[in-house]
């Protein structure tokens, strides 16, 4: 793995007093992130998942190595805006601060489908659900940032899959359809949602500079996102991993970039940037620096979410 040397055991500071929320914390990168952060004395870590039993199992497994960890489960289905709102309400009932919001959960290259609210399913899960969580928790994030020890991070997991979105980057007029794009459509829709993560993180940083908002690529990881792909897609992913990074990485290595982004010194970070592992500023690519597209995405997202409040 290229980039900065980063050893979580030595390089993550004491997180005393910090409150952390990780979406998709029951498996893969999310679970690994929580397991590592829990060893550094945070006040509380909340994890979201759709399945309570899987979340409970993850918490039990993490506590085997860190028995004193304070971990709480929030039920949340990111493809349902109502579910996201319930999770946000549950969070603010339990905590008055939020230091790290890790938007980790996601789906990849699934067949054409609509979310419960009628959006293209990958865009709903990977972008819109997280955008609502950010919106509803923004007052808490800003309040925390204003405190004397405030150093708030909002980390959005993107992907170099963002290099390959459909034409125009984001097809706004098709986001309320299954967006069937023919051959390669699954990957194009995925790329569209991951591009949205990069653009939205950048716009959040511009509008709220008191927060540190970053997007990151975690390398190609052996997780359930890959395991659930069709066999041919799995083969292509593994070939790509072999070319780019000498093979698939386990979650322990794949989580390093998001752990770095969440805990590195603030002065070492460029707010709004997209980072590849570990801690490397990604080279600009088509659409990633498109300010007009970024602003359009923000406006579209706020319009879609205008009826959702705590």
pLDDT digits (tens, 9 = 90+) for 139-153: 999 999 999 999 999
Please, which pLDDT band fits residue 249 given cuts at 50, 70 and 90?
confident
72 is catalytic: no
Asked if 9 and 31 touch (Cβ cutoff 8 Å), the reply is no
pLDDT digits (tens, 9 = 90+) for 30-48: 999 999 999 999 999 999 9
Asked if pLDDT for residue 242 goes beyond 50, the answer is no
CATH entry, 12-303, from 3.90.1150.10, 1.10.569.10, 3.40.50.720, 3.20.20.10: 3.40.50.720
194 is catalytic: yes
Specify the pLDDT at position 226. 53
Which residue of the set 115, 194, 213, 288 is catalytic? 194
Q: Determine what percent of the chain is predicted with pLDDT higher than 90.
A: 85
**Domain extents for the chain?**
12-303
240 is catalytic: no
Please, which pLDDT band fits residue 239 given cuts at 50, 70 and 90?
very low
Which residue of the set 190, 200, 208, 275 is catalytic? 190
Q: Which range is least confidently modeled, 178-192, 218-232, 281-295? A: 218-232
- Alpha helices (H) in the chain, listed in sequence order: 8-11, 28-37, 52-65, 81-94, 121-123, 129-145, 185-207, 224-227, 231-245, 251-254, 256-263, 291-304
pTM of the model: 0.92
Asked if 137 and 88 touch (Cβ cutoff 8 Å), the reply is yes
Asked if pLDDT for residue 85 goes beyond 50, the answer is yes
- Ramachandran category for residue 247: left, alpha or beta (phi over 0 → left; psi -120 to 50 → alpha): left
Q: What is the mean pLDDT of the chain?
A: 92
Please, which pLDDT band fits residue 222 given cuts at 50, 70 and 90?
low
Asked if pLDDT for residue 1 goes beyond 80, the answer is no
Specify the pLDDT at position 121. 98
Asked if 238 and 230 touch (Cβ cutoff 8 Å), the reply is no
275 vs 253: CA distance, rounded Å: 15
């Amino acid at each position: 793995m290229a980039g900065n040397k980063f050893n979580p055991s030595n390089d993550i500071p004491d997180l005393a007093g910090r409150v952390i929320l990780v979406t998709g914390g029951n498996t893969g990168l999310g679970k690994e992130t929580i397991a590592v952060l829990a060893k550094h004395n945070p006040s509380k870590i909340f994890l979201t998942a759709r399945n309570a039993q899987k979340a409970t199992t993850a918490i039990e497994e993490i506590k085997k190595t860190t028995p004193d960890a304070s971990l709480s489960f929030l039920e949340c289905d990111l493809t349902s805006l109502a579910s996201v709102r319930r999770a946000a309400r549950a969070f603010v009932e339990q905590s008055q601060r939020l230091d790290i919001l890790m938007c980790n959960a996601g789906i990849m290259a699934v067949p054409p489908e609509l979310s419960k609210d009628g959006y293209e399913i990958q865009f709903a899960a990977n972008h819109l659900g997280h955008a609502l969580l950010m919106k509803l928790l923004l007052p808490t994030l800003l309040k925390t940032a204003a405190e004397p020890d405030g150093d708030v991070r909002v980390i959005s997991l993107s992907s170099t899959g963002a290099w390959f979105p459909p034409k125009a980057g984001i097809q706004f007029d098709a986001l309320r359809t299954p967006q069937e794009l023919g051959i390669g459509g699954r990957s194009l829709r995925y790329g569209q949602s991951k591009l949205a993560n990069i653009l939205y993180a950048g716009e959040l940083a511009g509008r709220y500079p008191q927060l540190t908002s970053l997007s990151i690529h975690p390398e190609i990881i052996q997780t359930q996102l890959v395991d659930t792909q069709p066999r041919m897609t799995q083969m292509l992913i593994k070939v790509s991993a072999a070319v780019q990074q000498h093979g698939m990485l386990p979650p322990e290595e794949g989580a390093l970039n998001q752990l770095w982004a969440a805990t590195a010194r603030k002065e070492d970070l460029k707010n709004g940037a997209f980072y590849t592992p570990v801690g490397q500023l990604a080279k600009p690519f088509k659409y990633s620096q498109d300010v007009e597209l970024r602003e359009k995405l923000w406006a579209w997202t706020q319009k879609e979410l205008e009826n959702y409040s705590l």
